Chains A and B, each alone.
Chain A
């Protein structure tokens, strides 16, 4: 893993459809080496998958998202890992993180509506052993996701020519 690998990763993260030829030109490498490096990054699991970033709201899908905080009693020998592993397996859980601070695990959960999320928390998560407390926060509006501002802003007018 070197700076060139990191550059390729950054470019692929931005757009995984970037042609190898363009990657080679930008990174100042030949195409063969770019292919070779990407293959290595895939094999070693640095590149997990190639996925689209979807704005589901724009797709007409009225999903509801919630951040759920969990207080968890850790297990001897395993800490938080085993319980986290189980929670992560639910389809509804989009991301899961162990946090410092007043609670332990933080989940991002997506559901069709509030009712579905409420049921998921009440029936699946809250009753699990070792879950001491849950707090559910419905996301009302996203302003920025994955480093991109979401609000459509008017293009700033620039002069077509300037010296």
Chain B
């Protein structure tokens, strides 16, 4: 029999943490700082809206783009919150999470052979999506010295005549780095000079602790060449509802919509109803969660630095990204030994394009954070003898 698996599917590397899963499975008392989702439950008024929609029998397909109510609410929210202007009629598509939005955005613009710059470290899906579209992902490193921001120099070094787009993800998973307006302007110069498209995943935008999130598409010359991705998972603790959205100039949105209608048809209706409620009445609960993340961030970063795992203060998202280089171990060795010996799960940075670091999510209770820190201290102290 032939090997039916396509060359493109084969080219995607397997998950870098499969074996960590297997080890964790054998343990009872793992404290996981390895998660990429809030520990909070979805605010109850939002759940009620979802339940009510099912009770009402609202269980059918919606418009491909998403319900007009939700698109309208997203448009008003983006304007009020981030000064972003998108027309709900032909510039916003509701998707099955930001994962789908990233996929259809990339497939809407990438032709075989196109090079796509991907600012790393970052969420794991962008490069595989580029490869599935036949493109070539080109990693652009963001370093601790630059507070993990993407710099014009790093971009310029990797641009070739085949470069078509740049994917960025700020506030950043896994580093917690954010972009200031001046950073966005520097990116804008490069993107405009080289006639590139910017794909900006801003799913952590609400989790910005110092100052306000700057959306790249608010730089005037960037709007027409930016696809803005966002969603409800992180801000409103709604990961399992799978509701994200893509915003883009009409031509790009129309192309993405064609792909969306064949791969997903539409995002789940009950999720869309719940997301609408989150935008209408979710502000206070969201703010309470953001305040709590900030307290945890302070505890975790202080604790990591006290242990000797050098960690900059992340200004966004819910991750700390300490260096483990001082331990003499690679991030993979560190993460595995820490899990085996102290039952604390962290994500090795190299699976996210950031070797030498580990990602510690503070999406766990303060109590658990303190316990995890105590275990990590014991682990690191044990290494010194």
Interface residues on chain B, number (Cβ under 8 Å): 24
Could you say which residues of chain A place their CB within 8 Å of the CB of B347?
Answer: 161, 163
| Nearest opposing residue in chain B for A10, CB measure | B291
Q: Give Cα A160 to B20, complex, Å.
A: 9
Q: Give Cα A26 to B20, complex, Å.
A: 31
Q: How far is the CB of B147 from chain A (nearest CB, A)?
A: 18
Q: Give Cα A159 to B17, complex, Å.
A: 12
- Contact call B21/A161, Cβ cutoff below 8 A: yes
| Nearest opposing residue in chain A for B301, CB measure | A25
Taking the complex as formed, is B36 at the interface, i.e. its CB lies under 8 A from any CB of chain A?
A: yes
Q: How far is the CB of A111 from chain B (nearest CB, A)?
A: 34
Could you say which residues of chain A place their CB within 8 Å of the CB of B34?
Answer: 160-162
Could you say which residues of chain B place their CB within 8 Å of the CB of A26?
Answer: 295, 298-299
Q: Which label, helix, strand, loop or mixed, suits the secondary structure of the A interface?
A: loop
Q: Which of A25, A158, A159, A162 contacts B299 (CB 8 A)?
A: A25
- Contact call A161/B20, Cβ cutoff below 8 A: yes
Could you say which residues of chain A place their CB within 8 Å of the CB of B48?
Answer: none
| Nearest opposing residue in chain A for B294, CB measure | A26
- Contact call A158/B20, Cβ cutoff below 8 A: no
Taking the complex as formed, is B124 at the interface, i.e. its CB lies under 8 A from any CB of chain A?
A: yes
| Nearest opposing residue in chain A for B34, CB measure | A161
Q: Give Cα A144 to B4, complex, Å.
A: 56
Could you say which residues of chain B place their CB within 8 Å of the CB of A159?
Answer: 21, 35
Could you say which residues of chain A place their CB within 8 Å of the CB of B24?
Answer: 160-161
- Contact call A160/B35, Cβ cutoff below 8 A: yes
Other than A25-B298, A163-B124, give 4 A-B pairs with Cβ distance below 8 A.
A11-B295, A22-B370, A159-B35, A160-B21
Which B residues have a C-beta under 8 Å from some C-beta of A? 17, 20-21, 24, 30, 32, 34-37, 39, 41, 123-125, 173, 295, 298-299, 302, 345, 347, 352, 370
